[in-house]
């Protein structure tokens, strides 16, 4: 008798744990032949709220880490993903990709993580300024993370799209709650396992599966979320998100990008989720001394 | 003889200052101001005008046109035409030269602008003369130089203007806010429809005169006056590509909501409720001066006003006594007098709002202390006010009052004060007073606010980015970062 394969239960990822949705709901995910791939968690508003609590709790620690350390952790994610490449290629194929496209997508995802790993301790140098004010003050501006970011990840580019929005977000010291692709959620959950084994503190990235239809208004109306990134093209959802963003002046970003292209590899995507802080301090004016050394 | 604990300084005897009023003889104001659209002053479609008054005397200064939707439409179309046909095609260096010219002309007429600003808005002449007007001119001068250097600001990008910017500004720094809005927009290659606040339209209209005289191509800057309905017409006009708003968080939220689902970009510079934190090791006298300047500058009509004072517990009694003493020496009265520290409240409505909050504070059980000064009979005035024994949850602690009202809380540890300072929906600015550098850097990274003043307060400069975290808005004004809201990168 041939061996019976062990099927994985695909769960969500909150605060470094893999719970099932508190709602007990699921949706069946099938391949193109109608064969059941998994019963995927249909996450609820309560799951999202729990995830925001986890993300907020992780924000101080993650944003307070040395940028160099964040850089190493992002690189570590890439290492972990590389080592599990075969699994991701297989999942992408289950979700309808060709073998070639699946391999390309995983390769690009790994490279993108390496790309943003490198930015962690560099973008600050690009976007910081020392400002020559006219008065006798030392004045400088630095970017700081916006805070907790809610992300509705791309629907089609299931792995690469998710990596492409999460990497700039966390490389900049933010924490996030991500809604995975509804039709291709498998590799998002597996990516959570990669994160979990990559020294990324629990709560820095939280990944939910479910529908944007149900969750977009909660993602955008939560009062303890600082920014929302939306990567799909439903006009009604975009409008609702932008309206809800007004509730606590959330930063709202609607991305229509080609996730396969190099256009999404740039530090301006990090800058989107940064705030500029300016600090002033007086400089003592030593009257008579006119140094010319 | 009994020993007096805290001898009160006596300033009401021989300490009277002689009046030193700034002359208004040289000020020429028209009786009626029209809308500045497409390079010309034109009458409003409906022919409606409203009065703008001097809040210190309640006298009418001039009648000002009220723009309706058809006037807004005209202005937006003029801005669009100027954008497509002239401004975006113009070599950036030439664009910059126009902006330089505007800066120079403001400098030439600085005194006139300062006096009108004070007459229309009620702020002390010392402030309009030394802060508002020079900073406004400097802002134009600074951004003028960016016009032909944008590609150096954003490596690997090809920065392009956005198009027509609708800009709505508040009444607290009328000319300065106009400069903050117009200068970077023009430098980046956009054209502008600007609406000043209805209580303080005069310096913006004077600026329109300068813009006309400068020879700036018609329609590049349009300045139209009116109240909320006019602003709404700008926000909702489909021909506007970008809305830049400075004002209250409540109105900011309405605007964000209104442009949802459109492609309009927004920048928001909204309210604040800044913490000003004094540690036991601070230079106390400097800190007291900084606190006074932080809350009473411009009658407290400042979004970044240091309206929440936190004093480390062991020095609280001493600092509070010094603040009370200093309060007594503040000169409240004629804004045109060069000795005046605190001028008139900008409008009757704002005075009502401030008085409402003072009542709320008293009803919440806080202990009130006000200067014993006399207030002028006419005009809108408010005594500088301290509230002691407030709670973190008090409304006067949580909500923006936008007046000369300071709440005072104490703290023991640095963790406690960080938590309290950040525990508010706003995040515009903060102040820190300590002699210890490491403490300053610890706090400046932990305070969730866009501007942190350490051992100083309420300083502004064109090269220094200004803007908020959280519900204080997004986008920056000033510096290299202030270009971004006006460019597609």
Nearest CA to A194 out of A229, A159, A145, A169 is that of: A159
Nearest chain A residue to B138, by CA: A134
Q: What letter does residue B16 receive in the DSSP assignment?
A: P
Residue B17 is predicted with a pLDDT of: 81
Catalytic residue list contains B280: no
Domain positions in chain B are 32-270+470-488, 275-454
CA distance B347 to B424: 27
DSSP string computed for B397-450 = HHS---SSEEEEEEESSHHHHHHHHH-SS--SEEEEE-S-HHHHHHHHHHS--S
Inter-chain contact B481–A141, Cβ cutoff 8 Å? yes
- Give the closest-approach CA distance of B33 to chain A in angstroms: 35
**Residue environment code for B189-227, b if the CB has 16+ CB neighbours within 10 A, otherwise e:** bbbbbbbbbbbbbbbbbbbbbbbeebebbbbbbbbbbbe
Question: Of B128, B140, B150, which Cα lies nearest the Cα of B104?
Answer: B140
CA distances from B38 to A190, B60, B74, B232 (A): 60, 28, 8, 20
ipTM at complex level: 0.94
Provide CATH code, domain B275-454: 3.40.309.10
pLDDT at B1: 46
Q: Which of A129, A246, A248 lies nearest to residue B480, judging by beta carbons?
A: A129
Would you list which residues of chain A are within 8 Å, Cβ to Cβ, of chain B? 126-127, 129, 131-135, 137, 139, 141, 144, 146-147, 226, 235, 238-243, 245-249, 251, 266, 268, 275-282
Subunit contact B474:A245, Cβ cutoff 8 A: no
Contact B268 A275 (CB under 8 A): no
> Which string of DSSP letters, residue by residue, matches A126-159?
HH-EE---SSSEEEEEEEEE--EEEEE--SSSTT
Annotation marks residue B373 as catalytic: no
Q: A281–B449: do the CB atoms touch at under 8 Å?
A: no
Q: Locate all alpha helices (DSSP H) within A9-84, ordered by sequence.
A: 45-64, 67-83
pLDDT value for A230:
98
Contacts A240 to B, Cβ<8 Å: 260
In this predicted model, what pLDDT tens digit does every residue of B237-289 receive, in sequence order?
999 999 999 999 999 999 999 999 999 999 999 999 999 999 999 999 999 99
- Cβ A139–B455 below 8 Å, yes or no? no
For chain A, the farthest-separated pair of C-alpha atoms sits apart, in whole angstroms, at 96
- Report the gap between the CA of B483 and the closest CA in chain A (Å): 13
- Spell out the domain ranges in chain A: 26-259+266-281
CB atoms within 10 A of CB B258: 17
pLDDT, tens digit (0-9, with 9 covering 90-100), for A195-247 = 999 999 999 999 999 999 999 999 999 999 999 999 999 999 999 999 999 99
**Topology of domain A26-259+266-281, per CATH?**
Aldehyde Dehydrogenase; Chain A, domain 1 (3.40.605)
On the 0-12 / 13-18 / 19+ scale of CB atoms within 10 A, B461 is buried
- Taking CB atoms and an 8 Å limit, are B455 and A281 in contact across chains? yes
From chain B residues 298-337, the ones with a CB under 8 A of any chain A CB are none
Question: Cβ(B101)–Cβ(B213) under 8 Å?
Answer: no
Interchain pair A249, B138: CB under 8 A: no
- Give the residue from chain B lying closest to A250, CA to CA: B470
Q: Would you say the C-alpha torsion B39, B43, B48, B53 has a positive or negative sign?
A: positive
Give A193→chain B minimum CA distance, Å. Answer: 31
**B376: its two tokens:** 């002028």
Count, residues in chain B: 489
Contact residues on chain A for B453, CB-CB shorter than 8 A: 279-280
Residues of B (106-165) whose Cβ lies below 8 Å from A: 138, 155-157
Q: Contact B138/A134, CB-based, under 8 Å?
A: yes
Chain A residues in contact with B456 by the CB 8 A cut-off are 137, 280-282
Enter the tokens of residue A88.
């991701």
Residue B13 and residue A108: Cα distance in Å, rounded? Answer: 80
Tens of pLDDT, residues B416-449: 999 999 999 999 999 999 999 999 999 999 999 9
Nearest to B260 among A243, A266, A282 (CB): A243
- Residue B137, classed as helix, strand or coil, is helix
Query: Which of A137, A242, A249 shows the shortest C-beta gap to B474?
Result: A249
* Dist CA B449 CA A146 (whole Å): 11
pLDDT digits (tens, 9 = 90+) for B68-119: 999 999 999 999 999 999 999 999 999 999 999 999 999 999 999 999 999 9
Taken in order B122, B126, B129, B132, the sign of the CA dihedral is negative
Q: Sheet containing B221-223: which strands, arranged edge to edge?
A: B40-42, B35-37, B221-223, B191-195, B164-168, B242-246, B265-269, B473-474
Q: Within 13 Å of residue B75, how many CA atoms lie on the same side as its CB? A: 34
Contact B193, B234 (CB under 8 A): yes
- State how far the alpha carbon of B35 is from the alpha carbons of B42, B69, B166, B240, in Å: 5, 13, 15, 18
Tell me the chain A residues in contact with residue B155 when contact means C-beta distances shorter than 8 Å: 126
| Cβ–Cβ gap A242/B256 under 8 Å | yes
Q: B459 and A135 in contact by Cβ < 8 A?
A: yes
CA distances from B387 to B331, B391, B410, B429, B449 (A): 20, 10, 12, 20, 23
Name the catalytic one among B22, B269, B400, B477. Answer: B269
| B305 Cβ contact list (under 8 Å, min separation 6) | B272, B274, B294, B295, B297, B402, B458
**Which of A119, A278, A282, A285 to probe the B interface (max B CBs under 10 A)?**
A278
Cβ–Cβ < 8 Å for A105, A115 = no
pLDDT at A252 over 70: yes
Q: Are A278 and B477 in contact (CB under 8 A)?
A: no
For B374-404, the DSSP string reads: ---SSS-----EEEES--TT-HHHHS---SS
pLDDT score of B301:
97
Q: Which of B198, B303, B471, B477 is catalytic?
A: B303
Contact B44, B225 (CB under 8 A): no
Q: Is B455 on the interface with A (CB under 8 A)?
A: yes
Residues 6+ apart with CB under 8 A from B447: B275, B418, B421, B422, B430, B432
Instruction: Determine the average pLDDT of the residues in A261-290.
Output: 88
CB contact under 8 Å between A277 and B444, yes or no, is yes
In this prediction, the residues of chain B whose per-residue pLDDT falls under 70 are 1-15
Of residues B440, B453, B469, nearest to A275 (C-beta): B469
Give the separation between CA B127 and CA B125, rounded to whole angstroms.
Answer: 5
In the block, which residue shows the tokens 């391999």?
Answer: A103
Nearest to B261 among A146, A238, A249 (CB): A238
Measured in angstroms, the CA of A275 and the nearest CA of chain B are apart by: 7
Residues on chain A touching B267 (C-beta within 8 angstroms): none
CB burial string B132-152: b at 16+ within 10 A, e below: bbbbbbbbbbbbbebbbebee
A-facing residues of B in 37-96 (CB < 8 A) are none
CATH number for the domain whose boundaries are B32-270+470-488? 3.40.605.10
Q: In 10 A of CB A35, how many CB atoms?
A: 8
């Amino acid at each position: 008798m041939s061996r019976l394969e062990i099927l994985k239960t695909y769960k969500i990822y909150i605060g470094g744990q893999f719970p099932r949705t508190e709602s007990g709901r699921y949706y069946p995910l099938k391949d193109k032949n109608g064969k059941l791939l998994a019963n995927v968690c249909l996450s609820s508003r309560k799951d999202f709220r729990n995830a925001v609590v986890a993300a907020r709790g992780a924000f101080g620690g993650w944003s307070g880490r040395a940028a160099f350390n964040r850089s190493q952790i992002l690189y570590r994610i890439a290492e972990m993903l590389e080592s599990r490449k075969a699994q991701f290629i297989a999942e992408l194929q289950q979700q309808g990709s060709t073998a070639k496209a699946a391999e390309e997508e995983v390769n690009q995802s790994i490279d993108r993580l390496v790309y943003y790993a490198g930015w962690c301790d560099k973008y600050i140098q690009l976007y910081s300024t020392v400002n020559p004010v006219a008065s006798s003050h030392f004045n400088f501006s630095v970017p700081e993370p916006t805070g907790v970011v809610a992300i509705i990840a791309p629907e089609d580019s299931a792995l690469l799209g998710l990596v492409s929005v999460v990497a700039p977000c966390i490389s900049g010291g933010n924490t996030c709650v991500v809604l995975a692709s509804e039709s291709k959620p498998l590799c998002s959950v597996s990516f959570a396992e990669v994160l979990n084994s990559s020294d990324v503190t629990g709560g820095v990235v939280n990944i939910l599966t479910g529908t944007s239809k149900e969750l977009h208004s909660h993602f955008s109306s939560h009062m303890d979320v600082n920014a929302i990134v939306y990567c799909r093209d439903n006009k009604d959802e975009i409008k609702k998100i932008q309206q809800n963003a007004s509730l606590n002046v959330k930063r709202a970003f609607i991305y229509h990008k080609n996730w396969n292209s190099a256009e999404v590899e740039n530090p301006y995507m990090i800058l989107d989720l940064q705030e500029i802080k300016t600090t002033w301090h007086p400089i003592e004016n030593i009257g008579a001394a006119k140094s010319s050394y | 003889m009994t020993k007096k604990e805290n001898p009160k300084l006596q300033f009401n005897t021989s300490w009277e200052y002689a009046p030193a009023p700034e002359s208004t003889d040289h000020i020429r104001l028209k009786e009626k101001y029209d809308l500045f659209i497409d390079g010309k002053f034109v009458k409003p479609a409906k022919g409606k005008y409203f009065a703008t008054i001097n809040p210190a005397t309640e006298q009418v200064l001039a009648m000002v046109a009220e723009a309706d939707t058809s006037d807004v439409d005209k202005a937006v179309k003029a801005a669009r035409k100027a954008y497509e046909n002239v401004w975006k095609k113009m070599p950036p260096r030439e664009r910059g030269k126009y902006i330089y010219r505007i800066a120079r002309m403001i400098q030439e007429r600085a005194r006139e602008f300062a006096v009108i600003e004070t007459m229309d808005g009620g702020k002390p002449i010392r402030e309009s003369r030394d802060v508002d007007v020079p900073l406004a001119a400097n802002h134009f001068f600074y951004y003028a130089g960016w016009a032909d250097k944008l590609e150096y600001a954003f490596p690997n990008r090809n920065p392009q203007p956005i198009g027509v910017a609708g800009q709505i500004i508040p009444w607290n720094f009328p000319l300065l806010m106009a400069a903050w809005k117009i200068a970077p927009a023009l430098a980046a290659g956009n054209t502008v429809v600007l609406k000043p606040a209805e209580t303080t339209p005069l310096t913006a209209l004077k600026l329109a005169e300068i813009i006309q005289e400068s020879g700036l191509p018609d329609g590049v800057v349009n300045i139209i006056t009116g109240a909320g309905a006019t602003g709404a017409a700008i926000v909702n006009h489909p021909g506007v590509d970008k809305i830049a708003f400075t004002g209250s968080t409540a109105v900011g939220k309405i605007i964000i909501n209104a442009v949802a689902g459109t492609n309009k970009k927004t920048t928001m510079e909204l309210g604040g409720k800044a913490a000003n934190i004094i540690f036991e090791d601070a230079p106390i006298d400097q800190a007291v001066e900084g606190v006074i300047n932080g809350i009473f500058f411009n009658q407290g009509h400042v979004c970044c006003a240091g309206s929440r004072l936190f004093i480390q517990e062991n020095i609280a009694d001493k600092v509070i006594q010094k603040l009370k003493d200093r309060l007594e020496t503040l000169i409240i009265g004629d804004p045109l007098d060069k000795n005046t520290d605190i001028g008139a409240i900008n409008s009757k409505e704002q005075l009502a709002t401030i008085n409402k909050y003072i009542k709320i504070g008293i009803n919440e059980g806080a202990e009130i202390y006000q200067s014993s000064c006399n207030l002028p009979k006419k005009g809108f005035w408010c005594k500088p006010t301290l509230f002691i024994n407030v709670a973190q949850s008090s409304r006067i602690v949580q909500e923006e009052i936008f007046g000369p009202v300071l709440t005072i809380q104490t703290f023991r540890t640095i963790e406690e004060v960080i938590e309290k300072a950040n525990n508010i929906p706003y995040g515009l600015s903060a102040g820190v007073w300590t002699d210890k550098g490491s403490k300053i850097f610890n706090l400046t990274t932990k305070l969730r606010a866009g501007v942190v003043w350490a051992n100083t307060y309420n300083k502004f400069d064109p090269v220094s980015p200004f803007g908020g975290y959280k519900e204080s808005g997004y986008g920056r004004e000033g510096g290299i970062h202030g270009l971004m809201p006006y460019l597609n990168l």
